[in-house]
Amino acid sequence: MALARSRAVIIVFVHTFNPLQDPRWASFVETHLQSSVFHTSSYLDALRRTYGYQPIVYTTSLPGEPLANGIVLCRVSSWLTGSRLVSVPFADHCEPLVASSRDRAAIVAAIQKTVRDGKLRYAQIRAIHADLAQAAGSGNPRTFAFYTLDLTPPIERLYGALHKTAIRRSVRRAEREGVCLESGRSEALLRQFYSLLVETRRRQGLPPQPMPWFDNLVECFGDRLTIHVASREGEPLAAILTLRHKDVLVYKYGASDERFQRFGAMPFLLWKAILDAKDQGLSLFDLGRSDADNTGLATFKERLGATLSTLTYVRWADASRTIFREEHHAPRFPTPTQLCLQ
């Protein structure tokens, strides 16, 4: 007599918590191999302080037990774009920290339920890997170019990989012209950086980020945030703001004064940031994303010796809400003409 075989049904429960109130999250992020600066409590707290965004983590781990996985999102609401979940705002990427496909499917289902029950427009995950692109109910994923620079080779090899004309010549020009560098996180450096940022955003036709955002980043990150300002004869020419997470340096913001393009300040700043990262023993420089149609920005990153990969943005939408407005991200690098591309 044949015996009927039954398939066991495995139920996976998903739990949520506030990562700013649960100490497990900071420890989990610090030890997870795929975590980034955008997962950190420092970044999430800066978002909360500035914009009021409350973070939430979805996990299959029981409350009080060590975390095995997690996807962090923030609820964003505005009159223009409606309410949505984003992982996470103003970040190029925020990889889901979930290894098991079964756990990932359960968490995705819970996020989708939140979208439906909360009448949200959508939930969006900004992933480095495309694992979620085939998840049930996801819309057509968007892809972006993503550039990183391996810092492990000897400094001579890194310098040799720089574009001879656009980068190395600009660095030498800056040195000849007496461009000097000051780095830190002082109030004076922050004000110089912000003044250049406001001017750069004005040229791009975009409003600048509010000053409290940068004040909060400085306070939340402490010595893991650095502002580099290039000046000549007391005049700030260009500035960048970097963040550090474990052995990764992240280029977050940059700005320049277009009147002084000829001095090569931006290539000079980035080369000095590479040197500083090498001194600290860091292994990777995250140069962020580039839109497909921004060939000038992509070319500049390639001329730094960076390697191209792909970011995949996946969205789960409320089917009853069909009109979307994509969140706008301006390029964090100045435009190609400001980068002395020859």
pLDDT(217) > 90: yes
Average pLDDT for residues 248-253, to the nearest whole number? 97
pLDDT digits (tens, 9 = 90+) for 231-248: 999 999 999 999 999 999
Mean pLDDT of 178-195: 97
Identical fold, 15-138 and 147-310+333-339: yes
pLDDT category of residue 215 using cuts at 50, 70 and 90: very high
Rounded to an integer, what is the distance from CA 118 to the centroid of its chain?
27
Give dist(CA 174, CA 298) in Å, integer: 23
Strand pairing report for 284-290 and 225-232: unpaired
Q: Where are the domains of the chain?
A: 15-138, 147-310+333-339
Which position has the higher pLDDT, 236 or 319?
Answer: 236
- pLDDT digit string (tens) for 106-142? 999 999 999 999 999 999 999 998 777 666 667 778 8
Mean pLDDT over the full length of the chain: 89
Return the percentage of the chain with pLDDT > 70, whole number.
89
CA distance 316 to 185: 39
Q: Give whole-number Cα distances, 7 to 4, 88, 104, 109, in Å.
A: 10, 38, 21, 21
Model confidence, pTM: 0.90
Task: Give the CATH H-level superfamily of domain 147-310+333-339.
Answer: Gcn5-related N-acetyltransferase (GNAT) (3.40.630.30)
Residues 81-107: tens digit of each pLDDT: 789 999 999 999 999 999 999 999 999
Judged against a pLDDT cut of 70, whether residue 252 lies above it is answered with yes
Fold (topology level) of 15-138: Aminopeptidase (3.40.630)
Check: CB of residue 193 under 8 Å from CB of residue 317: no
Nearest alpha carbon to residue 19 among 54, 62, 60: 54
Cis before residue 76, ω within 30 degrees of 0?
A: no
Residue-wise pLDDT tens digits, 13-64: 999 999 999 999 999 999 999 999 999 999 999 999 999 999 999 999 999 9
Residue 341: pLDDT band with limits 50, 70, 90: very low
Q: What is the pLDDT of residue 329?
A: 41
* Beta-bridge mates of residue 78: 82
* Six-digit token string for 336: 């190609």
Higher pLDDT pick, 204 / 47: 47
